Amino acid sequence: MVGERIRQLRIHKQLTQKELTEGICSITYLSRIENGQINPSEEFLRKVSKRLGYDLTELSSPNRDEKTLRIVDNYKHKGEISEDEISYLHIQTLELNSTKVNLHLYGVLLRYYTTKGEIEQARSIYSLSKRFISGEMCEGLEDEYFYYFLACGNFFYYLQDFNYSVHYYTKADHLLKERDSLDAAKLYYNLSLIKQRTHANQEISMYYSNKAYEIFEKYEEKEYIITALITLGVQYQLNNDLDNSMECLKKAERTILEDEEHEKLASYTGMIQHNIGRVYERKKEYPSAIKYYLNSIKILESLSFELQIVHPLRRLVEIYIEQKDWILVDKYLEKAIVITEKFQLKHDYILLCLLRLSVKKLQGNESLYEKGMQKMLDSAIELNQGILIKRITQELGNHYYDKKAYKKAADYLMKALEYEE
């Protein structure tokens, strides 16, 4: 058992056998331990424990559950967890645990890795959780299941798999005990994001955002207040209510500036700059929009928030297509696509590919446009992205109608009608 745990910890720490054994023992000795052929010496365990950041003697400790729950509770309430504690939780997933402990373990690890953008680790944790957590809820563990379902919803939202995300958020919603608690507000906020991405009309998304915002204000949760205001700003903008959009974004900006530690909130400033740019783009005031988008990219790059840079990059591409500046279109488009591929942002990747195909069509390459659009439609169907399916089929229907290919046009436009809200 100890040998297998050492092997798992070594892999988790991304260490080779040579890196782990250097100055301690031979690679052969470690291999025999990992394969269960011999028992390790106490001296070996002491030195390897130090290098792995994990006390291997704790594997047989009767207080494992107490330590696990202490780490979990600290992360849930303070958001604090060390690398050594993550290693500890990781190794506990290899042990036989109660349902309660498993819910805590997988809920925290899934949330931790999703938040950090370490999506392959998150995927591995989610797969493990499906093997060890029963689909039938145990009575008395509602809070634990709520946290786990919320973490699963966040994981699938990150993957832009909105159907699975809604599935888990709905399961969490059914377990809510207090409708004006912080847990409720966080769930409402997450639901607003899902509705924003899956519904053309933003009335439902704004309903959830406003509910979340009111509760965050009640509890004076400043960061959540800022994110809710930014989200409302986006949703008003998507509903063409540009005045209310700007009002929400400016209010979020003032909330940051009034904070004594406003420098810690710089990432939100980057998001606000991006969304103010969107308002100006809607007004076709392109020089102002470009200025705000570039400011947003500069702020987010300085904070190494590569994931969030995709959005202002895509907006710049849209503007430069409008202005027919093909060099800048290509520059920002390729940069954005690289990021979506790196972080597996499938929904955003399809959106960027649609922009690239629209450029090919403008350049007269209709054959490439048609093949590419069909490929993107197949991807959207595979991912069950209704709003993208509707957009692609509408575009293809109009394209074939203009070419007087009326049968093809009718087929695509009928498909678009199937995905009407």
pLDDT in tens, 172-202: 999 988 889 998 999 999 999 999 988 878 9
Instruction: Check whether 164 has a pLDDT greater than 70.
Output: yes
**Reported confidence tier of residue 26, pLDDT bands at 50, 70, 90:** very high
Whether the CB-CB separation of 421 and 201 falls below 8 Å is answered with yes
Please state, rounded to an integer, the average pLDDT across all residues of the chain: 91
Mean pLDDT of the region 96-116:
91
Distance set, CA 191 to CA 173, 200, 420 (Å): 10, 15, 20
The Cα–Cα gap between 218 and 224 comes to: 11
Overall fold of domain 2-60: 434 Repressor (Amino-terminal Domain) (1.10.260)
The Cα–Cα gap between 184 and 166 comes to: 15
Provide the pLDDT for residue 59: 57
- Residue 177 is classified by DSSP as S
The Cα–Cα gap between 65 and 70 comes to: 8
> Which pTM was predicted?
0.73
Q: Which two tokens stand for residue 93?
A: 């997933």
Closest among 130, 68, 128 to 101, alpha carbons compared: 68
Q: Domain map of the chain by residue range? A: 2-60, 345-421
State residue 95 phi and psi, 5-degree precision: -100, 165
Instruction: Check whether 60 has a pLDDT greater than 70.
Output: no
Overall fold of domain 345-421: 1.25.40
The Cα–Cα gap between 409 and 179 comes to: 48
Give the type of residue at 246. Answer: M
Closest among 117, 83, 106 to 14, alpha carbons compared: 83
Q: Dump pLDDT digits (tens) for 275-317.
A: 999 999 999 999 999 999 999 999 999 999 998 999 999 999 9
Instruction: Check whether 326 has a pLDDT greater than 90.
Output: yes
Specify the higher pLDDT residue, 403 or 10. 403
Residue 110, H or E segment: helix 99-116
